[in-house]
Amino acid sequence: MPNAERPFQNIISVKHSAFGIKHSNIFALICQDMPLIRTIQMDQATRLGVWKIGEQEAFFRTRVNISPEIHHPHKRLQHFAGRYLLLELFPEFPVQHIRLMKSRKPYLPDDSFHFSISHCRDHVAAIVSKKYAVGIDIEAMQPKVGKIAHKFLGPAEQVFIDKEHTLAHQTVCWSAKEAIYKWYGLGSVDFKEHMQLEPFDFRTAGFITANFNRTDKNARLYLQYVVEGELCLAWTAKEEEVSS
């Protein structure tokens, strides 16, 4: 496995024309000494980034601020880094106008940007688009994911889990469904009933097709993921509306 101290440094550049996305148009690979590990330009309107937190609050306060209701020191750093990362992806992002839905999803009232942020330990990931809803999730592989797999994977999904990489494959599935949950944003989603992943082989980087079915929304989603060390990153790449 590539350097676990700097996850996602070596995301393989691949193309998948059926998804309408090209991983080969990565526009920046940042120096290993920088906290911004990588940014990816998905298309003209959509960018993704991963940040390794190594700074104190004072560093982030030069550009962003967070709610005073967040008291835990590490959670504060995660929130600071998340908003800072939004500005790294789009310098004109109006972070001061971020609000929270009842579902706790952050959003902008004018929808000038659609965005999603995820935190895991000392890493923060964000995806931002000017055109469409997005979702991202970064997860650590932990035994508890395997213990609750039956709660988020249906029978058809449990069948395709790789027997030699069970926990890693389950974590990818969990991360993908978390990204879908954030893409939807309105809460009240059953991970087994409302989201179904189509079979896919476990690899350290790949693509996932998923179906999202609720009474208010039906869509076919295309996601990408990468696994490195003990971390997994998954994000929504494209969606297609499906008639009821």
Sheet holding 114-120, edge to edge: 28-29, 36-43, 46-52, 123-129, 114-120
Residue 7 confidence (pLDDT): 45
φ/ψ of 32, rounded to 5, equals -60, -20
Q: Is 113 helix (H, G, I), strand (E, B) or coil?
A: coil
Residue 2 in domain: no
Looking at the fold, whether 142 and 122 belong to one and the same domain comes out as no
DSSP letter string over 135-164? -EEEEE--HHHHHTHHHH--HHHHHTS-TT
Residue 10 in domain: no
Q: With contact defined as beta carbons under 8 Å apart, do 115 and 86 qualify? A: yes
Minimum mean pLDDT range among 25-29, 69-73, 129-133: 25-29
Q: List the domain range (segments joined by +) for residue 108.
A: 19-134
Mean pLDDT of 9-27: 36
Distance (Å, whole) CA 63 – CA 210: 37
Among the candidates 80, 106, 134, a domain finishes at 134
The tens digit of pLDDT for each residue in 65-117 reads 888 788 999 999 999 999 999 999 999 999 999 999 999 999 999 999 999 99
Mean pLDDT of 136-146: 97
Strands (E), the chain: 15-16, 21-22, 28-29, 36-43, 46-52, 99-100, 106-107, 114-120, 123-129, 136-140, 195-197, 205-214, 217-228, 231-241
Looking at the fold, whether 130 and 142 belong to one and the same domain comes out as no
The secondary structure of residue 97, as a DSSP letter, is G
Among the candidates 111, 134, 157, a domain finishes at 134
Looking at the fold, whether 181 and 127 belong to one and the same domain comes out as no
Looking at the fold, whether 130 and 143 belong to one and the same domain comes out as no
Looking at the fold, whether 98 and 172 belong to one and the same domain comes out as no
As a whole number, the mean pLDDT across the chain is: 87
Residue 12 in domain: no
Q: Is 182 helix (H, G, I), strand (E, B) or coil?
A: helix
The two tokens of residue 201 are: 């082989």
Number of folded domains that form the chain: 2
The two tokens of residue 192 are: 């087994």
Residue 69 confidence (pLDDT): 84
Residue 218 confidence (pLDDT): 96
Q: With contact defined as beta carbons under 8 Å apart, do 53 and 77 qualify? A: yes
Question: Tokens 């009933």 identify what position?
Answer: 193
Residue 97 in domain: yes
Q: How far is CA 159 from the centre of its chain?
A: 25
The tens digit of pLDDT for each residue in 221-238 reads 999 999 989 999 999 999
The two tokens of residue 22 are: 């090209």
* CATH number assigned to the domain comprising residue 162: 3.90.470.20
* CATH number assigned to the domain comprising residue 50: 3.90.470
Residue 36 confidence (pLDDT): 73
Question: Would the CA dihedral through 236, 203, 189, 97 be positive or negative?
Answer: negative
Residue 39 confidence (pLDDT): 85
Residue 243 confidence (pLDDT): 77
Looking at the fold, whether 28 and 113 belong to one and the same domain comes out as yes
DSSP bridge pairs for 228:
231
pLDDT tier at 35, thresholds 50, 70, 90 = low
Looking at the fold, whether 129 and 148 belong to one and the same domain comes out as no
